[in-house]
Copies of this chain bind each other. A is one copy, B any other.
Amino acid sequence: MKKFLNTPESYLSDALAGLAAAHPELRVDAENGVVARASGPVEGKVGLVSGGGSGHEPLHSGFVGEGMLDAACPGEVFTSPVPDGFLAGVKAADAGRGTVLIVKNYTGDVMNAQMAAELAEDEGLRVEQVLVNDDVAVEDSTFTAGRRGTGATVFVEKICGAAAARGDGLEAVAELGRRVNAASRSFAVALTACTVPTAGRPGFDLPEEEIEVGVGIHGEPGRRREKLRSAREIVGEMMEAILQDSPLESGDEAVVMVNGMGGTPLSELYLVFGEVARVCGDKGITIARNLVGDYVTSLDMEGCSITLCRVEEGFLPLWDAPVNTPALRWGV
Protein backbone atom coordinates (compact mmCIF):
# COMPACT_ATOMS: atom_id res chain seq x y z
CA MET A 1 0.00 0.00 0.00
CA LYS A 2 1.45 3.33 -1.09
CA LYS A 3 -0.27 6.27 0.53
CA PHE A 4 0.66 9.51 2.19
CA LEU A 5 -0.23 8.67 5.77
CA ASN A 6 1.32 8.40 9.20
CA THR A 7 -0.42 5.27 10.44
CA PRO A 8 -3.45 3.56 8.89
CA GLU A 9 -5.31 4.15 12.13
CA SER A 10 -4.68 7.90 12.18
CA TYR A 11 -5.45 8.42 8.48
CA LEU A 12 -8.88 9.95 9.01
CA SER A 13 -8.01 12.16 11.98
CA ASP A 14 -4.83 13.36 10.27
CA ALA A 15 -6.73 14.18 7.08
CA LEU A 16 -9.35 16.07 9.11
CA ALA A 17 -6.56 17.96 10.89
CA GLY A 18 -5.28 19.03 7.48
CA LEU A 19 -8.75 20.12 6.42
CA ALA A 20 -9.00 22.19 9.59
CA ALA A 21 -5.60 23.78 8.98
CA ALA A 22 -6.51 24.68 5.39
CA HIS A 23 -10.01 25.94 6.20
CA PRO A 24 -10.28 27.95 9.40
CA GLU A 25 -13.83 28.83 8.31
CA LEU A 26 -14.71 25.23 9.29
CA ARG A 27 -14.91 23.83 12.80
CA VAL A 28 -13.54 20.30 12.68
CA ASP A 29 -14.44 18.07 15.62
CA ALA A 30 -12.72 14.78 14.78
CA GLU A 31 -13.63 13.22 18.12
CA ASN A 32 -17.38 13.56 17.61
CA GLY A 33 -17.17 13.22 13.84
CA VAL A 34 -18.55 16.62 12.88
CA VAL A 35 -17.34 19.28 10.45
CA ALA A 36 -19.42 22.44 10.73
CA ARG A 37 -19.26 26.09 9.82
CA ALA A 38 -17.05 27.82 12.37
CA SER A 39 -19.56 30.65 12.50
CA GLY A 40 -22.21 28.28 13.86
CA PRO A 41 -25.83 27.72 12.79
CA VAL A 42 -27.32 30.51 10.70
CA GLU A 43 -30.08 32.35 12.50
CA GLY A 44 -33.42 31.98 10.74
CA LYS A 45 -32.20 29.34 8.30
CA VAL A 46 -33.16 25.68 7.99
CA GLY A 47 -30.14 23.54 8.83
CA LEU A 48 -28.64 21.21 6.23
CA VAL A 49 -26.56 18.18 7.19
CA SER A 50 -25.11 15.26 5.33
CA GLY A 51 -22.80 12.49 6.32
CA GLY A 52 -21.58 9.04 5.60
CA GLY A 53 -18.43 7.00 5.60
CA SER A 54 -15.19 8.81 4.86
CA GLY A 55 -13.06 8.03 1.80
CA HIS A 56 -15.33 9.93 -0.62
CA GLU A 57 -13.72 13.35 -0.20
CA PRO A 58 -14.59 16.09 -0.90
CA LEU A 59 -18.00 14.56 -0.05
CA HIS A 60 -19.28 15.61 2.50
CA SER A 61 -16.96 17.84 4.54
CA GLY A 62 -15.77 19.71 1.46
CA PHE A 63 -19.33 20.92 0.88
CA VAL A 64 -19.76 22.65 4.23
CA GLY A 65 -20.10 26.40 3.92
CA GLU A 66 -22.21 29.29 2.76
CA GLY A 67 -24.90 28.17 0.31
CA MET A 68 -24.47 24.47 0.97
CA LEU A 69 -24.17 22.32 4.12
CA ASP A 70 -24.14 23.56 7.70
CA ALA A 71 -22.48 20.40 8.93
CA ALA A 72 -21.09 17.10 7.68
CA CYS A 73 -20.67 13.89 9.65
CA PRO A 74 -17.64 11.95 8.44
CA GLY A 75 -17.76 8.34 9.64
CA GLU A 76 -14.78 6.04 9.62
CA VAL A 77 -13.57 5.08 6.13
CA PHE A 78 -16.40 3.38 4.23
CA THR A 79 -18.36 3.09 7.48
CA SER A 80 -21.56 4.87 8.41
CA PRO A 81 -21.36 7.52 11.11
CA VAL A 82 -22.76 6.24 14.38
CA PRO A 83 -26.16 7.67 15.41
CA ASP A 84 -24.39 10.05 17.80
CA GLY A 85 -22.34 11.35 14.87
CA PHE A 86 -25.43 12.20 12.82
CA LEU A 87 -27.02 13.66 15.96
CA ALA A 88 -24.00 15.88 16.63
CA GLY A 89 -24.26 17.10 13.03
CA VAL A 90 -27.94 17.96 13.45
CA LYS A 91 -27.20 19.85 16.65
CA ALA A 92 -24.38 21.77 14.97
CA ALA A 93 -26.75 22.82 12.17
CA ASP A 94 -30.01 23.51 13.94
CA ALA A 95 -30.96 27.17 14.32
CA GLY A 96 -34.51 26.58 15.46
CA ARG A 97 -36.20 26.08 12.09
CA GLY A 98 -35.40 22.38 11.84
CA THR A 99 -32.76 20.43 9.92
CA VAL A 100 -32.76 18.49 6.67
CA LEU A 101 -30.57 15.40 6.89
CA ILE A 102 -29.38 14.11 3.52
CA VAL A 103 -28.63 10.39 3.57
CA LYS A 104 -27.18 8.18 0.85
CA ASN A 105 -29.02 4.90 0.56
CA TYR A 106 -26.77 2.43 2.35
CA THR A 107 -28.29 0.22 5.00
CA GLY A 108 -26.03 1.37 7.83
CA ASP A 109 -26.40 5.05 7.00
CA VAL A 110 -30.17 4.81 6.74
CA MET A 111 -30.48 3.00 10.06
CA ASN A 112 -28.12 5.28 11.96
CA ALA A 113 -29.58 8.46 10.48
CA GLN A 114 -33.05 7.28 11.45
CA MET A 115 -31.93 6.67 15.02
CA ALA A 116 -30.28 10.08 15.12
CA ALA A 117 -33.44 11.74 13.81
CA GLU A 118 -35.47 10.07 16.53
CA LEU A 119 -32.99 11.09 19.20
CA ALA A 120 -33.04 14.66 17.88
CA GLU A 121 -36.83 14.72 17.90
CA ASP A 122 -36.79 13.43 21.46
CA GLU A 123 -34.81 16.56 22.26
CA GLY A 124 -37.38 18.75 20.56
CA LEU A 125 -35.53 19.26 17.26
CA ARG A 126 -37.33 18.84 13.96
CA VAL A 127 -35.60 16.70 11.34
CA GLU A 128 -36.60 15.87 7.79
CA GLN A 129 -34.62 13.22 5.95
CA VAL A 130 -33.88 13.12 2.23
CA LEU A 131 -32.79 9.74 0.90
CA VAL A 132 -30.53 9.74 -2.16
CA ASN A 133 -30.69 6.64 -4.35
CA ASP A 134 -29.65 7.62 -7.85
CA ASP A 135 -27.34 4.79 -8.94
CA VAL A 136 -29.11 2.79 -11.64
CA ALA A 137 -26.41 0.10 -11.87
CA VAL A 138 -27.95 -2.48 -9.55
CA GLU A 139 -30.95 -3.08 -7.33
CA ASP A 140 -29.64 -4.25 -3.95
CA SER A 141 -25.91 -4.68 -3.49
CA THR A 142 -23.31 -5.14 -0.81
CA PHE A 143 -24.22 -2.61 1.92
CA THR A 144 -27.50 -1.61 0.25
CA ALA A 145 -31.12 -2.58 -0.05
CA GLY A 146 -32.44 -0.80 -3.12
CA ARG A 147 -30.42 1.56 -5.23
CA ARG A 148 -27.22 3.11 -3.94
CA GLY A 149 -26.89 6.84 -3.34
CA THR A 150 -23.95 8.40 -5.16
CA GLY A 151 -23.34 11.46 -7.35
CA ALA A 152 -26.80 13.00 -7.02
CA THR A 153 -25.89 13.76 -3.42
CA VAL A 154 -23.84 16.71 -4.68
CA PHE A 155 -26.83 18.05 -6.60
CA VAL A 156 -29.16 17.62 -3.63
CA GLU A 157 -26.70 19.32 -1.28
CA LYS A 158 -26.11 22.27 -3.63
CA ILE A 159 -29.72 22.93 -4.55
CA CYS A 160 -31.11 22.39 -1.05
CA GLY A 161 -28.28 24.50 0.34
CA ALA A 162 -29.30 27.41 -1.86
CA ALA A 163 -32.96 26.96 -0.99
CA ALA A 164 -32.19 26.98 2.72
CA ALA A 165 -29.99 30.05 2.26
CA ARG A 166 -32.82 32.01 0.65
CA GLY A 167 -35.08 31.16 3.56
CA ASP A 168 -37.20 28.21 2.43
CA GLY A 169 -38.85 26.26 5.24
CA LEU A 170 -38.04 22.76 6.49
CA GLU A 171 -40.61 20.82 4.48
CA ALA A 172 -39.95 22.84 1.34
CA VAL A 173 -36.20 22.22 1.44
CA ALA A 174 -36.72 18.51 2.06
CA GLU A 175 -39.30 18.19 -0.69
CA LEU A 176 -36.98 19.99 -3.10
CA GLY A 177 -34.21 17.56 -2.22
CA ARG A 178 -36.50 14.63 -2.96
CA ARG A 179 -37.37 16.18 -6.32
CA VAL A 180 -33.69 16.62 -7.20
CA ASN A 181 -32.99 13.02 -6.27
CA ALA A 182 -35.97 11.81 -8.30
CA ALA A 183 -34.72 13.76 -11.31
CA SER A 184 -31.18 12.32 -11.07
CA ARG A 185 -29.51 9.12 -12.26
CA SER A 186 -25.90 7.91 -11.98
CA PHE A 187 -23.68 5.12 -13.24
CA ALA A 188 -20.03 4.35 -12.42
CA VAL A 189 -17.16 2.34 -13.86
CA ALA A 190 -13.95 1.31 -12.10
CA LEU A 191 -10.62 0.74 -13.80
CA THR A 192 -8.91 -0.25 -10.56
CA ALA A 193 -9.86 -1.23 -7.02
CA CYS A 194 -9.33 1.04 -4.03
CA THR A 195 -7.38 0.37 -0.85
CA VAL A 196 -8.78 1.10 2.60
CA PRO A 197 -5.81 2.21 4.74
CA THR A 198 -6.48 -0.19 7.61
CA ALA A 199 -6.88 -3.09 5.17
CA GLY A 200 -3.62 -2.31 3.41
CA ARG A 201 -4.54 -3.97 0.14
CA PRO A 202 -7.10 -3.48 -2.64
CA GLY A 203 -10.68 -4.28 -1.68
CA PHE A 204 -11.14 -6.54 -4.68
CA ASP A 205 -9.11 -7.96 -7.55
CA LEU A 206 -9.59 -6.42 -10.93
CA PRO A 207 -7.36 -8.05 -13.53
CA GLU A 208 -5.26 -5.89 -15.84
CA GLU A 209 -7.39 -5.02 -18.88
CA GLU A 210 -10.69 -5.58 -17.06
CA ILE A 211 -13.10 -2.99 -15.68
CA GLU A 212 -16.01 -3.18 -13.23
CA VAL A 213 -19.13 -1.85 -14.93
CA GLY A 214 -21.63 -0.36 -12.50
CA VAL A 215 -19.27 -0.29 -9.52
CA GLY A 216 -20.35 1.25 -6.22
CA ILE A 217 -18.46 3.97 -4.38
CA HIS A 218 -16.94 1.44 -1.99
CA GLY A 219 -15.83 -0.82 -4.81
CA GLU A 220 -18.85 -3.07 -4.40
CA PRO A 221 -19.68 -5.14 -7.48
CA GLY A 222 -21.65 -3.70 -10.36
CA ARG A 223 -23.33 -5.41 -13.27
CA ARG A 224 -20.33 -7.32 -14.59
CA ARG A 225 -16.67 -7.34 -15.43
CA GLU A 226 -15.56 -6.82 -18.97
CA LYS A 227 -12.52 -6.01 -21.05
CA LEU A 228 -11.45 -2.39 -21.17
CA ARG A 229 -12.96 -0.77 -24.25
CA SER A 230 -12.76 2.70 -25.76
CA ALA A 231 -14.04 5.63 -23.72
CA ARG A 232 -16.73 6.14 -26.33
CA GLU A 233 -18.04 2.60 -25.93
CA ILE A 234 -17.86 2.70 -22.13
CA VAL A 235 -19.63 6.06 -21.93
CA GLY A 236 -22.19 4.85 -24.47
CA GLU A 237 -23.12 1.97 -22.18
CA MET A 238 -23.14 4.18 -19.07
CA MET A 239 -25.36 6.74 -20.75
CA GLU A 240 -27.73 4.08 -22.07
CA ALA A 241 -28.20 2.72 -18.55
CA ILE A 242 -28.83 6.22 -17.21
CA LEU A 243 -31.16 7.39 -19.96
CA GLN A 244 -33.23 4.20 -20.03
CA ASP A 245 -34.15 4.88 -16.45
CA SER A 246 -34.15 8.68 -16.36
CA PRO A 247 -37.11 11.01 -16.78
CA LEU A 248 -34.95 12.92 -19.30
CA GLU A 249 -36.47 13.28 -22.75
CA SER A 250 -35.43 14.97 -25.94
CA GLY A 251 -35.81 18.72 -25.49
CA ASP A 252 -34.98 18.62 -21.78
CA GLU A 253 -32.11 20.35 -20.04
CA ALA A 254 -29.78 18.54 -17.66
CA VAL A 255 -27.15 19.29 -15.06
CA VAL A 256 -24.33 16.83 -15.75
CA MET A 257 -21.47 15.73 -13.53
CA VAL A 258 -18.50 13.67 -14.68
CA ASN A 259 -16.92 12.64 -11.42
CA GLY A 260 -13.53 11.10 -10.79
CA MET A 261 -13.22 8.34 -8.21
CA GLY A 262 -9.96 9.68 -6.72
CA GLY A 263 -7.22 8.30 -8.95
CA THR A 264 -8.38 9.49 -12.38
CA PRO A 265 -6.59 12.40 -14.09
CA LEU A 266 -8.66 15.46 -14.93
CA SER A 267 -7.76 15.14 -18.62
CA GLU A 268 -9.49 11.75 -18.76
CA LEU A 269 -12.55 13.17 -17.03
CA TYR A 270 -12.77 15.93 -19.65
CA LEU A 271 -12.38 13.29 -22.34
CA VAL A 272 -15.30 11.39 -20.80
CA PHE A 273 -17.33 14.60 -20.58
CA GLY A 274 -16.80 15.11 -24.31
CA GLU A 275 -18.34 11.69 -24.94
CA VAL A 276 -21.24 12.44 -22.58
CA ALA A 277 -21.86 15.71 -24.41
CA ARG A 278 -21.90 13.87 -27.71
CA VAL A 279 -24.55 11.41 -26.48
CA CYS A 280 -26.63 14.23 -24.99
CA GLY A 281 -26.46 16.06 -28.30
CA ASP A 282 -27.61 12.96 -30.17
CA LYS A 283 -30.52 12.54 -27.75
CA GLY A 284 -31.63 16.17 -27.92
CA ILE A 285 -30.67 16.86 -24.31
CA THR A 286 -29.10 20.25 -23.57
CA ILE A 287 -26.41 20.34 -20.90
CA ALA A 288 -27.37 23.44 -18.95
CA ARG A 289 -24.62 23.21 -16.32
CA ASN A 290 -21.77 20.82 -15.69
CA LEU A 291 -19.18 19.73 -13.16
CA VAL A 292 -16.04 17.85 -14.20
CA GLY A 293 -13.71 16.75 -11.42
CA ASP A 294 -13.43 14.78 -8.19
CA TYR A 295 -16.57 15.22 -6.07
CA VAL A 296 -17.61 11.76 -4.80
CA THR A 297 -14.49 9.64 -4.68
CA SER A 298 -13.58 6.14 -3.55
CA LEU A 299 -10.14 6.69 -2.01
CA ASP A 300 -7.55 5.97 -4.73
CA MET A 301 -9.85 4.16 -7.17
CA GLU A 302 -9.36 4.91 -10.84
CA GLY A 303 -12.73 5.25 -12.43
CA CYS A 304 -15.51 7.70 -13.04
CA SER A 305 -19.20 8.19 -12.57
CA ILE A 306 -21.70 10.09 -14.66
CA THR A 307 -24.72 11.80 -13.10
CA LEU A 308 -27.52 13.50 -15.01
CA CYS A 309 -30.20 15.55 -13.31
CA ARG A 310 -33.19 16.70 -15.33
CA VAL A 311 -33.60 20.43 -14.88
CA GLU A 312 -37.00 21.15 -13.37
CA GLU A 313 -38.72 24.40 -12.45
CA GLY A 314 -36.56 26.34 -10.04
CA PHE A 315 -33.45 24.15 -10.09
CA LEU A 316 -31.10 26.36 -12.13
CA PRO A 317 -31.35 29.59 -10.09
CA LEU A 318 -30.56 27.53 -7.01
CA TRP A 319 -27.68 25.79 -8.79
CA ASP A 320 -26.29 29.18 -9.82
CA ALA A 321 -26.71 30.75 -6.38
CA PRO A 322 -23.50 31.66 -4.54
CA VAL A 323 -21.64 28.84 -2.81
CA ASN A 324 -18.48 29.08 -0.74
CA THR A 325 -17.13 25.71 0.35
CA PRO A 326 -13.72 24.06 0.02
CA ALA A 327 -14.83 22.03 -3.01
CA LEU A 328 -17.47 24.19 -4.72
CA ARG A 329 -17.08 27.93 -4.89
CA TRP A 330 -18.70 30.52 -7.09
CA GLY A 331 -20.52 33.82 -6.82
CA VAL A 332 -18.52 34.90 -3.77
Contacts and interface: CB of A to CB of B under 8 A. Distances in A.
A5 B263 contact: no
Interface in A184-242: 191-192, 208-209, 211, 228, 230-232, 234
Given A4-B264, A234-B4, A290-B22, A14 B271 contact: yes
Contacts of A111: none
B2 A270 contact: no
A57 B4 contact: no
A225 B62 CA distance: 34
Contacts of A3: 191, 268
Contacts of A299: 265, 267
Contacts of A268: 3-5, 15
Nearest to A234: B4
Contacts of A287: 21
B332 A15 contact: no
A143 interface: no
Q: Which of A228, A268, A272, A290 gathers the greatest number of chain B CB atoms within 10 Å?
A: A268
A304 interface: yes
Contacts of A304: 4
Interface in A1-55: 2-7, 11, 14-22, 54-55
A263 B302 contact: yes
A292 interface: yes
Given A263-B300, A297-B266, A302-B2, A230 B273 contact: no
A146 interface: no
Contacts of A55: 267
Given A2-B191, A2-B208, A191-B2, A266 B271 contact: no
A314 interface: no
A284 to B, nearest CB: 16
B54 A267 contact: yes
A19 B269 CA distance: 9
Given A6-B231, A17-B274, 17 more contacts: A2-B209, A2-B228, A3-B268, A4-B191, A4-B264, A5-B268, A6-B230, A15-B270, A18-B273, A18-B292, A19-B274, A57-B265, A262-B266, A263-B263, A263-B264, A330-B330, A330-B332
Interface of A: 2-7, 11, 14-22, 54-55, 57-58, 62, 191-192, 208-209, 211, 228, 230-232, 234, 262-275, 277, 287, 290, 292, 294, 297, 299-300, 302, 304, 326, 329-332
Instruction: In the A-B complex, list the 8 residue pairs whose CB atoms are closest, starting with the nearest.
Output: A18-B274, A18-B270, A21-B277, A262-B265, A4-B268, A2-B191, A18-B273, A17-B274
21 contacts: A2-B191, A2-B192, A4-B231, A4-B268, A5-B231, A6-B230, A6-B231, A6-B232, A15-B270, A18-B273, A18-B274, A19-B270, A21-B277, A22-B290, A55-B267, A57-B266, A263-B263, A265-B300, A266-B294, A267-B299, A292-B326
